[in-house]
Amino acid sequence: MSGAFNLVTPTEIVFGRGQIAQLNRRAANLGGRVLVVHGSNPARLAGVFESLTAVDIVQTLSVGKEPDLETLIAAIAQGKSLGVDLVLGIGGGSVMDSAKVLAAMLPGQTELMAHLEVVGDGLPLAARRLPLILVPTTSGTGAEVTRNAVIDIPEARRKVSLRDNQLLPDLALVDPSLTDNCPRHVSLHSGLDAITQVIEPYLSSRANLFTDMLCKEAIPKGLLALKQLMESESRQARDALAQVSLFGGLALANSGLGVVHGIAGPLGGLCGAPHGAICGALLPAGIAANRDSVVDAGQKARIEQVIGWIAEVFEASPDQALPRFREWIARNGLPGLASIGVTEDHIMSASQAAASSSSVKANPVELSTEAIESIMRQSL
């Protein structure tokens, strides 16, 4: 771990139960003609939308899954014609990623494909984005504080990123009350994603003092909160998991991820399974692969520390912690990758792309394509 680091964050982060009451005033300070991006069940947020009396909502976009290129291009064209001057994304990770793309692309004259990684030219944004507010309603992706947006490219059977520091919002408003009574399976999938996103930056070869401070508290806190939520609804656990998700977003934006996310990107593009579910199914085997391959004493100690936290929360010995964790995940509704549609063909197709992904480059140890395939097979 280097003592030097760069730090990228949104202009402002507001966190706390009840803070959604600030949204109307904050929105009015940034714009007047608003494009609102929301999830597939806007009725759940009816009170929030009704509170936006100081702005004019001129366009809405409902996002029920990870955004695809065609949908975004159509929304960009409509937004340009309506004179939108503020984008508000309120929902899960896919909603917030869509809002980021729209805020970035509405002011410019370039095509979206010019800025996409892998399938496009990967060019930096040419114009300053519109003012942007992001409000998460699930605890998982931390997308409200990250500098990339994941876009589904069905023709290429890939999910790729638009990545630029400009995608960091003017305001990330995180109110855990918006996650209360989130469906159990969504809580499990997104919660496992949140936990993965504090474990992988902590183990990352790019970990630094700032990300360590975020992750060391968040890993055991997230494990305990998710365990509690699978037993019963709890405001305290919702608040804790929302904080873990936020910390994970900040950590990954500043130190990268690892093999679990390196696999999850291409695998999700191939099979269409929820991102958080893929991460959750892969996490125990991903940690085990790093433990079995790492040589560096410092990295080894970190991995053992993470396993120790898992052992403590799930009441297991260190050598049984990862099997116990996987059993707990299965018992709570995620038996493995096969249960969400992953096949052997998907594994073979995803392995090469995963091995060369940006996330795998931050993994604490270099893993072969065969080792990556093994992680997926062990997670079926």
Is pLDDT above 80 for 4?
no
Average pLDDT over residues 81-102: 96
Task: Give every CB contact of residue 377 below 8 A, 6+ residues apart in sequence.
Answer: 347
What's the confidence (pLDDT) of residue 322? 98
Give the CATH superfamily of 184-379.
Dehydroquinate synthase-like - alpha domain (1.20.1090.10)
The string of pLDDT tens digits covering residues 92-143 is 999 999 999 999 999 999 999 999 988 888 899 989 999 999 999 999 999 9
The string of pLDDT tens digits covering residues 224-280 is 999 999 999 999 999 999 999 999 999 999 999 999 999 999 999 899 899 999 999
> String of b and e for 109-138 (b: at least 16 CB within 10 Å)?
eeebeebbebebeeeebeeebbbbbbbbbb
The interaxial angle of helices 184-203 and 209-231, nearest 10 deg, is 160
What's the confidence (pLDDT) of residue 102? 97
Length of the chain as a residue count: 380
The DSSP element (H or E) to which 279 belongs, if any, is helix 275-293
Q: Looking only at Cα atoms, what is the longest distance across the chain? A: 61
Q: Could you tell me if 57 and 49 are in contact, meaning their C-beta atoms sit under 8 angstroms apart?
A: yes
The string of pLDDT tens digits covering residues 142-182 is 999 999 999 888 887 878 889 999 999 999 999 999 999 99
Is pLDDT above 70 for 19?
yes
Is pLDDT above 80 for 309?
yes
What's the confidence (pLDDT) of residue 64? 82
Question: Which pairing describes strands 171-174 and 12-15: parallel, antiparallel, or unpaired?
Answer: parallel
Is pLDDT above 90 for 2?
no
Kindly report the CATH class assigned to 12-177: alpha beta
Average pLDDT over residues 51-68: 91
Mean of pLDDT over the chain: 94
The pTM of the whole model exceeds 0.75 = yes
User: What residues does each domain of the chain span?
Assistant: 12-177, 184-379
Exposed / middle / buried, residue 237 (Cβ in 10 Å: 0-12, 13-18, 19+):
buried
Give the pLDDT band (50/70/90) at residue 298. Answer: very high
Q: Could you tell me if 107 and 128 are in contact, meaning their C-beta atoms sit under 8 angstroms apart?
A: yes
Average pLDDT over residues 292-298: 96
Task: Give every CB contact of residue 159 below 8 A, 6+ residues apart in sequence.
Answer: 66, 150, 151, 152, 153, 265, 266, 268, 269
The string of pLDDT tens digits covering residues 175-215 is 999 999 999 999 999 999 999 999 999 999 999 999 999 99
Least confident of 55-64, 82-91, 156-165, 212-221: 156-165
Distances in Å between the alpha carbon of 77 and those of 80, 83, 132? 5, 11, 18
The DSSP element (H or E) to which 69 belongs, if any, is helix 69-82
Distances in Å between the alpha carbon of 380 and those of 18, 31, 261, 346, 374? 40, 48, 16, 11, 10
What phi and psi values does residue 90 have, to the nearest 5 degrees?
Answer: -130, 105
Q: Given the structure tokens 């003012």, which residue do they identify?
A: 131
Q: Which of 162, 74, 76 is nearest to 120 (CA)?
A: 162
What's the confidence (pLDDT) of residue 376? 98
Q: Which of 101, 93, 74 is nearest to 136 (CA)?
A: 93
The string of pLDDT tens digits covering residues 332-346 is 999 999 999 999 999
Percent of the chain surpassing pLDDT 90:
86
Is pLDDT above 70 for 1?
no
Exposed / middle / buried, residue 177 (Cβ in 10 Å: 0-12, 13-18, 19+):
middle
Q: Which of 340, 190, 362, 158 is nearest to 261 (CA)?
A: 362
